[in-house]
Structure 1
Amino acid sequence: MREPQAKPKEEQRIAKLLARAGIASRREIERMIAEGRIALNGKVLDTPATILKSLAGVTVDGNPVQQAAPARLFRYHKPSGLLTTERDPKGRPTIYDKLPKDLPRVMPVGRLDLNTEGLLLLTTDGELKRQLELPSSGVTRTYRARAYGNVTQAQLEDLIEGVEIEGVRYGSIDANLERRTGANTWIEMKLTEGKNREVRRVLEYLGLKVSRLIRTSYGPFGLDDMPIGYVDEIRPQDLGIFRKTLK
C-alpha cells in the first residue's frame, strides 16, 4: 500500500514568510528589501514580490533566517509616557526601553499614543499582528476615557452609526457613560477599526477634552488587574482557540 505523499509547500511572497518568522512587519520588510538588507543564496533582493516556498537560503543583514516558530502573544500594561515604536529620532523613551530584556523579539499589535496607557498586545509573529490589526477581522478594542466637559448618553449612542470628522470616516462605536466625577466624565468605548487617535478625535468632536485614556481589552484579552509595566504571555491554547474565531 502506497504511503500518502506530503503536501507540497505553498509558494508565498517573501515579505509574508519573513513576517511570519517574526523578522518584522510586511511594510518594514519591504523597506529592508529596498535598503538591500535581504538576500537569497547570496544575491541581494530588489523586490518584495519574490515568491518562495521556504526561507532556505534567505539572509537578513548577512544572517540566516530560521523557519517560523509557533506564534506567541504577550500582554503588556503600557504606562503613559512611552512611545509604541522601536526607536525615536528625538530620543524619547519607547516601550522597548522598558520591556524585560529576556523577552523574545516582539512587535506591537496596533499602537497606543505617547499619553495613552493600558493593554498593548505584543507578538513574535508578523502575520498574527496583521490579522489582529485588520478592521475586517472585527476584533473589538475597549477603552476607558476620562474627559472634561458635558456629553449625554444620547450623543454617545449616535456614534453607533459612525461619524465623519474633517473628511475621515470613523466606523461604528459602542459608547456609554460610566460615571461623572465633578467636571469629568468617564466613558467606555468599544470599536473595531482602531484608526490613528480615533477615540481622542471622536470625543474632541463631541466637545470633550480627554485627560486620561486607557485601553482595557483587545479582543478576549483584558488588562484585568495587571500592574503597570508588567508583561505576561497568553497561553498557547487560548491563542489557538482565539485564532480560530478570527474572520
Structure 2
Amino acid sequence: PEGRPTVADLVPRGMPRLFPAGRLDYNSEGLLLLTDDGDLARNLTHPSRKIPKTYQVKLKGRPSQSAIGRVEAGILLDGRKTAPAMIRPLKQGPNPWFEIRVTEGRKHLVRKLFDAVGHPVLKLKRTGFGPLLLRDLPPGQTRALLPSEIEGLEYRRGHKAGRNRAGRNPA
C-alpha cells in the first residue's frame, strides 16, 4: 500500500501461499503469524475463539490507576463494550511502558483503548499471539514454529496436533 514494503515482500520466492492470522498496522511492529493453512488463520482470528494477543505499549503521559482500571474492565468503543484486558506496568517514566493482553481483534483496538482514557500510544509491539511468543526474534526475521507451538495452535483450533486434514503446517 502506498508504495511501502509489506509482509509479503519478506516471504522468500517459491514458498506456498501464506495467510496472515491477524494484522499489524503500519505504525506497529512485532509478532505476525503466517500459515499456509487458510482455515487455521481464519479460526485463530475468529472473534468466538478469544485468542489472547499480548502487546507492549509506550504511552503518552502517565495514566492514573483509575484510567488503567477502566481499560482493564472494558470500555465503550464504537457503541460496543470491549472485553476485559489485563495490564501490567513494565517501565515507569514520563511516557511509561505497559504490557496489555486482549482477547478481541477489533481494528486498532489497543490504540483506541488508550486514546479513550487520554493516553495515546506512542509505540506498539505485539509480543504474543495465543501460545506464541516473539522473544528475541529481530524485526523482519522469520522462523518456523516448534512442534509444541504447532500443538498449542492446533489445540486452540480444536484439532489434534500435527498436520491437519489438508497436510498443512503453520509456519
SS in 2 for 1:230: coil
Aligned residue-pair number: 158
- Give the whole-Å Cα distance in 1 for the aligned partners of 2:153 and 2:4: 35
1:201 corresponding residue in structure 2: 112
Q: TM-score, normalised by structure 1?
A: 0.59
- Give the whole-Å Cα distance in 2 for the aligned partners of 1:147 and 1:190: 15
- Give the whole-Å Cα distance in 1 for the aligned partners of 2:91 and 2:39: 39
Asked whether the equivalents of residues 134 and 193 of structure 1 are also in contact (C-alpha less than 8 Å), the reply is no
Instruction: Give the alignment's Cα RMSD to 1 decimal.
Output: 1.8
User: Is residue 2:31 matched to residue 1:107?
Assistant: no
SS in 2 for 1:177: strand
Q: 2:132 is aligned with what amino acid?
A: F
What pairs with 1:21-100 in structure 2 (closer than 5 Å)?
A: 88=1, 90-100=2-12
1:240 corresponding residue in structure 2: 151
- Give the whole-Å Cα distance in 2 for the aligned partners of 1:190 and 1:240: 22
2:163 corresponding residue in structure 1: none
Asked whether the equivalents of residues 72 and 85 of structure 2 are also in contact (C-alpha less than 8 Å), the reply is yes
Q: 1:172 is aligned with what amino acid?
A: P
Structure number with the bigger relative contact order (C-alpha 8 A, sep ≥ 6) is 2
Q: Equivalent of 1:218, from 107, 120, 129?
A: 129
Q: 1:149 is aligned with what amino acid?
A: G
What are structure 1's unaligned runs of at least 5 residues? 1-87
- Give the whole-Å Cα distance in 2 for the aligned partners of 1:169 and 1:194: 13
Q: Displacement, 1:167?
A: 1.9
- Give the whole-Å Cα distance in 2 for the aligned partners of 1:166 and 1:238: 34
2:49 corresponding residue in structure 1: 137
- Give the whole-Å Cα distance in 2 for the aligned partners of 1:99 and 1:157: 40
Give the number of the structure whose alpha-carbon radius of gyration is greater: 1
What pairs with 1:7-18 in structure 2 (closer than 5 Å)?
A: none
Per-residue CA shift, 1:40-80, capped at 9, x if unaligned? xxxxxxxxxxxxxxxxxxxxxxxxxxxxxxxxxxxxxxxxx
SS in 2 for 1:132: helix
Q: Displacement, 1:237?
A: 5.2
Relative to its length, the structure with more strand (as a share) is: 1
After superposition, the Cα gap between the structure-2 partners of 1:229 and 1:243, relative to the gap in structure 1 and judged at 3 Å, is: same
Per-residue CA shift, 1:163-215, capped at 9, x if unaligned? 1024243211112222223x211011101112100000111111112111000
Asked whether the equivalents of residues 108 and 122 of structure 1 are also in contact (C-alpha less than 8 Å), the reply is yes
1:124 corresponding residue in structure 2: 36
Q: TM-score, normalised by structure 2?
A: 0.83
Aligned-pair identity in percent equals 34
Q: Equivalent of 1:157, from 50, 54, 69?
A: 69
Moved over 4 A (4+): none
SS in 1 for 2:105: coil
